Chain A
Amino acid sequence: MSKHDKTMKTPEFQGVEGAPILDIRNLRVVYQTDLETVEAVNGIDLTIERGKTFGLVGETGAGKTTTALSVLRLLPANTGRILSGEILFNGKNVLELDETLMQAIRGNLVSMVFQDPMSALNPVYTVGEQIAEAIRLHNPDLTKEQVEDRVDEMLKLVGIMPSRKTEYPHQFSGGMKQRVVIAMALCCEPELLIADEPTTALDVTIQAQVLAMIRELRDRLGTSMLMITHDLGIVAQTCDAVGVMYAGEIVESGTAEDIFLAEKHHPYTVGLFDSIPNLSSRTSRLKPIPGLMPDPTDLPKGCVFAERCASCMEICRQEHPGVYTEGTHKICCHLFAAPSEKEGGAK
């Protein structure tokens, strides 16, 4: 199986060398129920360059997973709505595709590793069968033996003995289950891998093993990646570009250097860094961000972070801030936006 075969089946998705693999433009997603409307993602722009890893950081409820599910069009059918925006995968808007084409993409060109390996696997099938299913679906021409060989190969790749493929998920530890999930995600050599908090459920030494493995596989297969996490340490270790998400918006984005080394930052990013106990110096007190994230059913009119921001100004409560750009570094905050840029940014 080669990349060539895959683009034969889905010729529309042939990527252009040098063009970004994923380009999200002004995406807005809501969850609508009879009672309320949750504004989960509010007009985000995000670009992942081919072969690079983009880290999406933020706290619970920031809209990270919703963004990922939108890319695969896996939002809950009865509540999730994509209001506007474009998600360009290799230049094609996935929001306009029919379900058959989407199925050809999912697991084949774009695949996802979910946060909780315990619930991502089916308990009544052996792990071998579950990996084989993904391979069979996307490669109907392969013989049984070829599929089995591929399963063995995938298990070896993630460091599990192929002899264990006849075992069930409950016979595996958490770290091993996550490896199986990663094997499933990688078995069709996707061009884009979405990893949604892949190590949150794991212990630190196992987390280190899984992260090292993901990095090695990424380098070997040249996969582009969207890494969703709340851990800035993981971002520092694995990502080339970073977006900091808060209340459905990307408040700051740029290369890893921009986020970790530049001088100017969004106050929320500063707060995130100050909340983490520092290992190299003993600080007597943490400087947490006061308060909580705003209610996504009732977002403030101005800047979404205004309520908790130490440098909040009058204008922050009135107007949505524009984007301040310095090279690759983008900050969505009134502190930096020049007056002329503000108008264009107001949504």
Chain B
Amino acid sequence: MTQEVRRTPLLQTVDLQKYFKLKGGSYLHAVDGINLTLYPGQTLGVVGESGCGKSTLGRTILKLIEPTAGKIYYNGVDITNYNARKMHPLRKEMQIIFQDPYSSIDPRKSVIEVIAQYMLIHKVYKSRAETFNRAAELMDMVGLARRYANSYPHELDGGRRQRIGIARALSLNPKFIVCDEPVSALDVSIQAQILNLLMDLQQELGLAYMFVTHDLSVVKHISDHIMVMYLGTCVEMASSDELFDNPLHPYTYALLIAIPEPDLLRSRQKTLHVIRGEVSSPIDPKPGCRFAARCEYCTERCSQSNPEFVEVSPGHHVACFMVNDK
């Protein structure tokens, strides 16, 4: 890939917001001012705990949910206000792999029908025979034996079902795939198979991934850049190695230290450092840093105004007063 192409981001969001209106006129701030940039062929990991808005972010970017405010640029074009008809051709390029391989696949269609479905909708091939040939090729690509072509999803295990979801997402030759926790429902040995598959496909087809997950070890393995989300906001963004070597935001640090490592000596040496409290409510959040209530370095200022998202070193952005003041 040439430098020229690299400079145009495949995807960019500017101050993207998604608020859900609740009964009684209050708002749930699911995604609150996210700026991200994704280049072709790269992987952006989005990590955070449940309810931090990472799935909503993925869906808003694909316009499966309408954003409340902000802009989404795809290949430099503003697609924020595209309607369903205008989005239709773009859907071929932007796909999603869902978290739950049990509920995201039509149980009444056979495996090959599920994979062929998108190609039929987009009329990619003239004949059904061609479409189904391509679907069979896709099955090979993701490592599903062709003998399962006429099986129904319930006959397959979670790992194979997730492969159907991947084959389906690849069927339209997308450039960008949102992977919404694609491995969290799977066992570790199957998880490793799927992660390898996703990385091979990326190399082969030059795909860009937005990889949404709560599992930090997975995200480190697969991502070029990582964004850490907390209650709808982005608290830290950096290259994968930089974030793990030099976490600056207290929340990132807490997340890293909380991972139980499968290493006896390290985990016995590790001093127990547990952050207190739980994620507060995203409904009409108070001004100030969202993490303030759980942060051990919290000062008065943290609960009064929002910390700016500042670039502290090239490519490393943090939103924290303590870090930014240094």
B157 sits at the interface (CB 8 A) = yes
Contact sample, A vs B, 24 pairs, CB 8 Å cutoff: A59-B187, A59-B188, A59-B189, A205-B255, A205-B274, A206-B278, A208-B275, A230-B187, A233-B259, A233-B260, A233-B261, A236-B266, A237-B260, A260-B262, A271-B189, A275-B188, A275-B191, A280-B263, A282-B241, A286-B196, A288-B191, A288-B192, A288-B196, A290-B193
Query: Cα distance A52–B218 when bound, in Å?
Result: 31
Interface residues in B264-285 (C-beta closer than 8 Å to A): 264-268, 272, 274-276, 278-279
Contact status of A286 and B267, CB under 8 A, knowing A211-B260, A233-B261, A275-B191: no
Nearest chain B CB to A266 CB, angstrom units? 14
B190–A209 CB distance below 8 A: no
B261–A205 CB distance below 8 A: no
B217 sits at the interface (CB 8 A) = yes
**Chain A contact residue count (CB 8 A cutoff):** 46
Contact status of A288 and B244, CB under 8 A, knowing A204-B258, A233-B262, A276-B188: no
B159 sits at the interface (CB 8 A) = yes
Residues of B within 8 A of A275 (CB): 188-189, 191-192
Residues of B within 8 A of A230 (CB): 187-188
Task: Summarize A's interface: helix, strand, loop or mixed.
Answer: helix
- Interface 1/0 per residue, B179-208 and A, CB below 8 Å: 000000001111111011001000000000
Interface residues in A273-289 (C-beta closer than 8 Å to B): 273-280, 282-283, 285-289
Nearest chain A CB to B98 CB, angstrom units? 19
B75 sits at the interface (CB 8 A) = no
Task: Summarize B's interface: helix, strand, loop or mixed.
Answer: helix
A272–B189 CB distance below 8 A: yes
Residue of A nearest to B188 (CB): A275
A135 sits at the interface (CB 8 A) = no
Query: Cα distance A230–B262 when bound, in Å?
Result: 11
B123 sits at the interface (CB 8 A) = no
Contact status of A279 and B192, CB under 8 A, knowing A175-B278, A205-B255: no
B221 sits at the interface (CB 8 A) = yes
Nearest chain A CB to B238 CB, angstrom units? 15
A261 sits at the interface (CB 8 A) = yes
B260–A276 CB distance below 8 A: no
Residue of B nearest to A273 (CB): B262
Nearest chain A CB to B326 CB, angstrom units? 25
Residue of B nearest to A216 (CB): B272
A69 sits at the interface (CB 8 A) = no
A212 sits at the interface (CB 8 A) = yes
A212–B272 CB distance below 8 A: yes
Nearest chain A CB to B239 CB, angstrom units? 12
A203–B50 CB distance below 8 A: yes
Residue of B nearest to A274 (CB): B192
The 8 Å CB contact of B214, one of A173, A203, A277, is A203
Query: Cα distance A104–B164 when bound, in Å?
Result: 49
B264–A261 CB distance below 8 A: yes
Nearest chain B CB to A57 CB, angstrom units? 10
Query: Cα distance A232–B229 when bound, in Å?
Result: 26
A292–B157 CB distance below 8 A: yes
Residues of B within 8 A of A290 (CB): 193
- Interface 1/0 per residue, A32-71 and B, CB below 8 Å: 0000000000000000000000000001100000000000
The 8 Å CB contact of B189, one of A174, A235, A288, is A288
B187–A60 CB distance below 8 A: yes
- Interface 1/0 per residue, B231-246 and A, CB below 8 Å: 0000000000100100
Residue of B nearest to A260 (CB): B264
Residues of A within 8 A of B218 (CB): 277
Contact status of A288 and B190, CB under 8 A, knowing A209-B274, A277-B221: yes
Query: Cα distance A275–B275 when bound, in Å?
Result: 28
Interface residues in A90-137 (C-beta closer than 8 Å to B): none
B263–A236 CB distance below 8 A: yes
B49 sits at the interface (CB 8 A) = yes
B254 sits at the interface (CB 8 A) = yes
Interface centre among B195, B220, B244, B274 (most CB of A within 10 A): B274
B189–A285 CB distance below 8 A: no
Contact status of A205 and B196, CB under 8 A, knowing A234-B260, A271-B189, A279-B244: no
A231 sits at the interface (CB 8 A) = yes
B188–A292 CB distance below 8 A: no
Nearest chain A CB to B198 CB, angstrom units? 11
Query: Cα distance A272–B262 when bound, in Å?
Result: 10
Contact status of A287 and B264, CB under 8 A, knowing A173-B278, A205-B49: no
Query: Cα distance A280–B199 when bound, in Å?
Result: 20
Interface residues in B158-191 (C-beta closer than 8 Å to A): 158-159, 187-191
Residues of B within 8 A of A212 (CB): 272, 274
Contact status of A236 and B190, CB under 8 A, knowing A205-B275, A279-B220, A286-B196: no
A219 sits at the interface (CB 8 A) = no
Residue of B nearest to A206 (CB): B278
Query: Cα distance A105–B262 when bound, in Å?
Result: 34
Residues of A within 8 A of B254 (CB): 205
The 8 Å CB contact of A283, one of B221, B266, B274, is B221
Q: 18 additional contacts, CB 8 Å, given A236-B268, A237-B267, A276-B192?
A: A59-B187, A176-B278, A203-B279, A205-B255, A205-B258, A206-B278, A231-B260, A236-B261, A236-B262, A236-B264, A237-B260, A260-B263, A271-B189, A277-B221, A279-B217, A286-B196, A288-B192, A289-B189
Residue of B nearest to A209 (CB): B274
A343 sits at the interface (CB 8 A) = no
B120 sits at the interface (CB 8 A) = no
B216 sits at the interface (CB 8 A) = yes
Residue of B nearest to A268 (CB): B189
Nearest chain B CB to A130 CB, angstrom units? 21
